Amino acid sequence: MKQAKWMVAVALVVLSGMAMAAAQLDSNYKIVAQVPFEFVVADKIVPAGQCVVQVAPMDDNTLMIHNWGAMVALFSPASRTEGRQGASQYALVFNHYGDFLTGIKIGGSKITYRVPESKGESELRAQNASGTQEIVLASLK
């Protein structure tokens, strides 16, 4: 009986770990969004259009961001955080006082990838620029 309870506990731990692993953005998966404005990430301008984001295969803390139509591709460092509430959909999050990409929300998960503040964004924040947060919905490809 004790062994059966122990096995149930182990199974629950393993299953919760598998669910968490599935919720992470994997380098095999791509998030695709139609961004209606140009934006800044890693101090580079990404034109408006279809944007593809994925984790770099060599490093879980680096995002690859592509706009193939504009022939733009770049890498950006990112940190993975876990929020209180899960995201219902995949989304790109922007600070809309200069259109800076700040994060990637992972649908069905509490995980968010945070992009470091760029130089231009730091300068605007230092000037107390007011802005809003804009969310552009995305899909998993």
Structure tokens at 18: 């598998």
Task: Report which of 55, 53, 26, 34 is spatially closest to residue 137, judged by C-alpha positions.
Answer: 34
pLDDT band at 7 (very low <50, low <70, confident <90, very high): very low
Q: What is the pTM of this model?
A: 0.76
pLDDT value at position 41? 94
Does the structure show a pLDDT above 60 at 4?
Answer: no
pLDDT of residue 83 exceeding 70, the answer is yes
